Amino acid sequence: MKKILFVTSEAHPLIKTGGLADVSGSLPKALAELSQDVRLVMPNYQALKIHGDVRFLCSVRVDNRDVNILETRMPDSAVIVWLVDYPEFFSFPGNPYHDEHGNDWPNNAERFALFCRIAAEIAMDRAQQNWKADIVHCNDWQSGLVPALLSLEHDRPATVFTIHNMAYQGLFPATSTVTLNIPGQLWQPYGLEFHNMLSFIKGGLVYADRITTVSPTYAREIQTPALGYGLEGLLTYRKDVLSGIINGIDTELWNSETDPYIERCYKAESLKDKQLNKTALQKKLSLPADKKIPVIGLISRLVEQKGIDLLIDCLSEMAAMPMQFVLLGSGDKTFEQKLLDFAQLYPEKIAITIGYDESLAHLIEAGADIFLMPSRFEPCGLNQMYSQRYGTLPIVRKTGGLADSVVDAVPETISNNTATGIVFNDANPGSLMEALKRALILYSMPEIWKKLQINAMKKDFSWQHSAEQYLELYQGM
């Protein structure tokens, strides 16, 4: 049994801004179910949704500050959560990283540096809990200083640093090294310095014993200028300790056999019941209820990263084809308006819902025939995995986790029963249209289509599968 300290700035269902929270909510639980002793440490934000008791554990002094550690548990789990309680830094309304107007908290460097120091103290058992970590698993820039600080310790735990998205690096002015009391030996180009800025993410990339990211393809992509954000050289230098482990999904929440949000539950053996969800979706969105016409779904943030501009360039051509298109999402106001204009122009073909609606999201996954994810980059992605579980075949661009979780339907993969969707290469409207046409041809062959649906529904995207890979990584350290 390993003692694992999981360091994160957010965890679902306590608080969530993105995919990091999903991982932090699921992976520690899955590791605990594999009989590991896992403790999760995160800041005690005002907005936390705590379920159950919180008790005072101890006080730790760092940088002339007394910081309280509180203890609670993850809901429905044995995982202990330690909350870093320092009201001056964390007890504010709003998001962990910025205020209600979307501006970064001006003291983010101080806030997360303090969080990292406390995590390092806990890892070394200087919180006097008679619990010293074997492995400290850090996530994204907010915990990047932990491997750097632990590198200065004698008899320290092994460290893992997971990159969920390279685009966020935690960069601050060089002057903050003084206010943050950064040890001198860490402030160097092969250290925390990045173009005369202080880089939190480099703390993880330079000093962690192992670096992971959320899919094998993304692990290769971040070693290129396109997705390395200036750190591709360092990542290439450390490629021997860099690997990708694809995220799992919540297989209880996203399960076509038990989903309370959908019209009719179904499984691979009763695929004809999927049709009832399609009809329900068409009716709900005021589209003609036609069983024969394929419905294409998309649930996404409406931003360029997700390839929404490529989709918009294809919509007139799509509207001329025998298909219906349904979208749920919000984001860039220009994209929102263009999509709504198309829906007005083609009310029989296109239904656009701006915002987020959990029950509609589930009904789209169950009721659509095809799911679209034309992302420019996607470290892991979740919807392509949800879709496969629902027998809704994804069309994805060959990038990041999309490339690793969808097997393209070509003659060879169709005949050996591994095909689960349609994959296209280039981020341009022509390639996307070609993939759509390919999907429609396959859809017109009911026997083959059903075979692809069954392949997709049989795939194991559980967190247990991912946790076993992490455990193997820990044991090899």
Enumerate the domain spans of the chain.
3-248+464-475, 268-460
Q: At a CB cut-off of 8 Å and minimum separation 6, what does 474 contact?
A: 2, 4, 134, 135, 158, 160
Q: At a CB cut-off of 8 Å and minimum separation 6, what does 458 contact?
A: 268
Nearest to 363 by CA among 276, 302, 290, 305: 276
φ, ψ dihedrals at 467, nearest 5°: -60, -35
For the structural domain made of 268-460, what CATH number should be given? 3.40.50.2000
CATH topology of domain 3-248+464-475: Rossmann fold (3.40.50)
Q: At a CB cut-off of 8 Å and minimum separation 6, what does 31 contact?
A: 4, 38, 467, 470, 471
**Count of CB atoms situated within 10 Å of the CB of 187:** 14
Given a contact cutoff of 8 angstroms between Cβ atoms, the answer to whether 370 and 297 are in contact is yes
CATH fold match for the domains 3-248+464-475 and 268-460: yes
> In the 8-state DSSP scheme, what is residue 306?
G
pLDDT in tens, the chain (477 residues): 999 999 999 999 999 988 899 899 999 999 999 999 999 999 999 999 998 899 999 999 998 999 999 999 998 898 999 999 999 999 988 889 988 777 889 899 999 999 999 999 999 999 999 999 999 999 999 999 999 999 999 999 999 999 999 999 999 999 999 999 999 999 999 999 999 999 999 999 999 999 999 999 999 999 999 999 999 999 999 999 999 999 999 899 899 999 999 999 999 999 999 999 999 999 999 999 999 999 999 999 999 999 999 999 999 999 999 999 999 999 999 999 999 999 999 999 999 999 989 999 999 999 999 999 999 999 999 999 999 999 999 999 999 999 999 999 999 999 999 999 999 999 999 999 999 999 999 999 999 999 999 999 999 999 999 999 999 999 999
* Tokens 């890979």, residue located: 469
Residue spans of alpha helices (H) in 382-445: 383-389, 400-405, 411-415, 429-443
Q: How many alpha carbons fall within 13 Å on the CB side of residue 368?
A: 32
Q: Measured between alpha carbons, how far is 249 from 245 in angstroms, rounded to an integer?
A: 13
Q: Which residues pair with 15 in a beta bridge?
A: 11
